[in-house]
A and B are shown apart, each in its own frame.
Chain A
Amino acid sequence: MTIVARERAAVSPPVEEGAERKRSVLDVGWQFVRRQPLGTFGLVIVLIMFTTGCLADWIAPFDPEENDFSAMMQAPSWVHLLGTDQMGRDIFSRLVFGARTALIVGFTAALVGGFLGLVLGVASAYFGGWFDLVFQRVLDVLMAFPLIILALAVVAVFGTGVINVIIAITIPLFPRCGRIVRASALAVREIPYVDAARALGFSHARIVLRHMMPNVLAPFLILLSAFVGQAILAEASLSYLGLGVQEPVPAWGLMLQGGAEEYATTAPWIAVFPGLAIMLTVLGISLFGDALRDALDPKLRTR
């Protein structure tokens, strides 16, 4: 047996009973679909949004930023499926490209915030002592502010624009992840295989990253799915308040302000479709996240 294999044998966590039969990805997927129809519905919405955002250049029939004064505020038609806005821009094309903006902001903020929280949360649990104490107090301070308030404050400092919005949303997200991950990691830290890894002389980084972190992935993934929804909603809120991305960049929240407010009664489609897009996406992500939690939580899985 090689040293690596021995290592693996020494530190592997206990295998769950009944899981010895290897299931294919398709089996797992089919089981998810059967057991979680709402979650599947949510997943479909997320996949549609993801695909739309990725393939926006091919799907959108018009340039989303091009003003067309000959087509101002046209109602939905075969030419403009969801109508046009006050600048004559095709709303469908703006929604399609807006999905890309939501994806970029939502996923980047959720992933960066999530991973930052994951690493620091596990490290905080592993090291304990003064590091844990100080880190948790920092999290207390950051978590004292509601997400949108903290994001507003960050945007006020850094300014508007896509990158700054991502930073503004990442900062309030990571303490939430750090706190929850730390709680799970505290339990993992007491399991003997961590002591075994330590006894074998592994580095702290190796123990944290390779042995503890994979064991808190289940709650982390659930959290991550919720974060994507929260980040998309936060981006839309910031843009609606005029503090997120700016015209003429297509973004759903931005599409709800300005002309959408002014023409709410005479051209309601300007406001209705971006509103629907935000609602459906956040609903889809929430449903998928709930289903993911049900599927990954062993206590709920047996019910």
Chain B
Amino acid sequence: MYVRKRLAAIALGVVAAIAAGSAGAEAPKRGGTLTYMIPADAPPSLDGHRETTYATVHAAAPFYSVLIRVPPDNPSSTTEFVCDLCTEMPKPTDGGKTYTFKIRQGVKFHDGSPLTAQDVGDSWNRIVFPPKGTTSARVTFYAMVDKIEVPDDQTVVFKLKYPASAFLPALADPYSWIYSKKILEKDPHFYEQHVMGSGPFRFVSYEIGQSIKGERNPDYYHEGQPYLDGFVALFAPKQSVRVDAIRSDRAAMEFRGLPPSARDELAKEGGKDIVFQESDWNCGNIITPNHKKKPFDDVRVRRALALAIDQWHGAPALAKIANVRTVGGIVFPGSPLAATKDELQQMAGYWPDIEKSRAEAKRLLKEAGAEGLKFELLNRNVDQPYKFVGTWVIGEWKKIGLNVEQKVVPTGPWFSNMRGGTFDVVMEANCISVVNPLLDTGKYLPAKVFPENYGQFDDDKSIELYDKMQTETDPKKQRDDMRAYEKHTLDTMVHSIVLPYWYRIVPMRSYVQGWKISPSHYLNQDLANIWLEK
């Protein structure tokens, strides 16, 4: 019932999104330059294979092609994938263990050289099996891949160790740009500082911290696209600057998302000239206690932290002031693998009776000798929604007698504290691109399996439950396996506390057409289908 409601909400969001682009039925117009804002200082590098930030995707995705992707006209789909560089989505063979992709012919890189299966195979080999000295940020997504072969210039074959329904969603990762094999052989770090792809736009200029510009690629292989003559992306980390730019039409949009207050402000002042697309967001804050620090090594204390938080009343209230909305477990609430409301309410931190929940939290703290516990919550120096959510959670903990100080640090120290384990409890974020719960939930595995888990714990049972779920092919059994893994993670061991998922509100001038929102700010960012009604 709960999942159905969430799916209905997403469907409504998508309908609203389609309605927002009300002129969608019209033929796209050619020409014009799209100016948009990127809410960041600058990307750490321009290499999609190594980065995990939207600052890289929003800046450089328009220059690159990928093998497959979510449908640009329906990017909210969690099950449908279409070809970008391939000619047809393959049917798996060899009992679901082999995927053979035929690559388009006649595709050119922006320097005029031909793009072949050799380039596709080489890029994917570097993503799945990164050579020494290079970084592939999502390498754990491809644990099921045994090898990647290129039998000829038109064919790439992925051979898996076992059939995995998570494979295609992982392959549609929007960071997996196809680079030139020739260039990478000369300099494996070339793409960190340079741009040379085969996407809908050719690189024009990049000024760090200022802007990045692209112009239409006349040789683009998707008929008629892109519609724009070019784009200018402006970097602006401060929200007020971005809102002012959109209000005054110095920029047409931003893609990440604004909080409700900014939406209301723009809607009031922009009238019909500014429209919004909204969607649930496959992104959320999680609280991770450091299991190596006393008393957080005691599951009773971790459980008390979860039991103190009133998610069901907190989420709708926070939704008015921050870009968060939906209560969920470890799986994105819109997914068929997500827990229903009833299932959630069986776990610590989701009990429907908050008084009973807090009484139990106090009892556990007393039993663990941690009454009136004082500790630090490490948080990131980002208002939306980190600091808003952090302040809320501290208020909730105060209600069971905990004395928590918030330590807010910039992104760099935030990461280094998490990686170094120098924190008591940390407010993290878990943002994913394609909704792919089987892989997305790897975040909750111990660091020896998933290095980006900062809880400092070891738990073989957790790995066993996760692995069982990966190899299960029956959807019903797989769902049951997911529930067992989720219960173990959030209720039995309380390795993490999942807070309400974020909610994406994308503002755009009404003349921007063709772009559709998705549950991820990483998806659908190549701008090929955007056109301007002016």
**Contact call B394/A248, Cβ cutoff below 8 A:** yes
Q: How far is the CB of B142 from chain A (nearest CB, A)?
A: 38
Q: Check B314 for interface membership: any CB of A closer than 8 A.
A: yes
**Contact call A66/B320, Cβ cutoff below 8 A:** no
Q: Check B147 for interface membership: any CB of A closer than 8 A.
A: no
Q: How far is the CB of B414 from chain A (nearest CB, A)?
A: 12
A residues sitting closer than 8 Å to B (CB atoms) are: 65-67, 69, 72, 86-87, 159-161, 242, 246-249, 258-259, 261-263, 265-266
Chain A at the B interface: mostly helix, strand, loop or mixed? Answer: loop
Closest to A241 in B: B381
8 closest A-B pairs by CB: A69-B317, A67-B395, A247-B391, A246-B406, A86-B321, A262-B261, A246-B408, A248-B391
**Contact call A248/B240, Cβ cutoff below 8 A:** no
Closest to B314 in A: A69
Contact of A87 among B383, B395, B409 (CB under 8 A): B395
Q: How far is the CB of B77 from chain A (nearest CB, A)?
A: 33
**Which of under 10, 10 to 19, 20 to 34, or 35 or more describes the interface residues of B?**
20 to 34
Closest to A262 in B: B261
CB-CB under 8 A for A263 and B261, given A248-B391, A248-B406: yes
Contact of B240 among A66, A72, A247, A261 (CB under 8 A): A261
A86 to B409, alpha carbons, bound, how many Å? 22
A-side contacts of B383, CB under 8 Å: 258, 262
Contact of B395 among A66, A72, A266 (CB under 8 A): A66
Q: Check B405 for interface membership: any CB of A closer than 8 A.
A: yes
**Contact call A87/B392, Cβ cutoff below 8 A:** yes
**Contact call A66/B314, Cβ cutoff below 8 A:** no
Closest to B318 in A: A69
CB-CB under 8 A for A161 and B407, given A69-B317, A242-B381: yes
**Contact call A69/B313, Cβ cutoff below 8 A:** yes
Contact of A161 among B313, B390, B405 (CB under 8 A): B405
Of residues 138 through 191 on chain B, the ones whose CB sits less than 8 Å from some CB of chain A are none
A-side contacts of B295, CB under 8 Å: none
What are 19 A-B interface contacts by the 8 Å CB criterion? A65-B394, A67-B392, A69-B313, A69-B314, A72-B320, A86-B321, A86-B388, A87-B321, A87-B395, A161-B405, A242-B381, A242-B408, A246-B407, A247-B387, A248-B391, A248-B395, A261-B240, A262-B259, A266-B264
A266 to B265, alpha carbons, bound, how many Å? 8
B-side contacts of A242, CB under 8 Å: 381, 408
B residues sitting closer than 8 Å to A (CB atoms) are: 239-240, 259, 261-262, 264-265, 313-314, 317, 320-321, 381, 383, 387-388, 390-392, 394-395, 398, 405-409
Q: How far is the CB of A106 from chain B (nearest CB, A)?
A: 21
Q: How far is the CB of A240 from chain B (nearest CB, A)?
A: 13
A-side contacts of B321, CB under 8 Å: 72, 86-87, 259, 262
**Contact call B265/A265, Cβ cutoff below 8 A:** yes
B-side contacts of A72, CB under 8 Å: 317, 320-321
A87 to B313, alpha carbons, bound, how many Å? 13
Known contacts A246-B405, A248-B395; 5 additional CB pairs below 8 A are: A87-B395, A160-B409, A161-B405, A259-B321, A266-B265
Q: How far is the CB of A63 from chain B (nearest CB, A)?
A: 9
Q: How far is the CB of A115 from chain B (nearest CB, A)?
A: 28
**Contact call A65/B398, Cβ cutoff below 8 A:** yes
Q: How far is the CB of B528 from chain A (nearest CB, A)?
A: 34
Closest to A89 in B: B395
A192 to B117, alpha carbons, bound, how many Å? 95
User: Which one of A69, A261, A266 has the highest number of Cβ atoms from chain B below 10 Å of its Cβ?
Assistant: A69
A75 to B388, alpha carbons, bound, how many Å? 20
Closest to B398 in A: A65
A247 to B389, alpha carbons, bound, how many Å? 11
Q: How far is the CB of A248 from chain B (nearest CB, A)?
A: 5
Closest to B260 in A: A262
CB-CB under 8 A for A247 and B406, given A262-B261, A263-B261, A266-B265: yes
A-side contacts of B395, CB under 8 Å: 65-67, 87, 248
**Contact call A266/B261, Cβ cutoff below 8 A:** yes
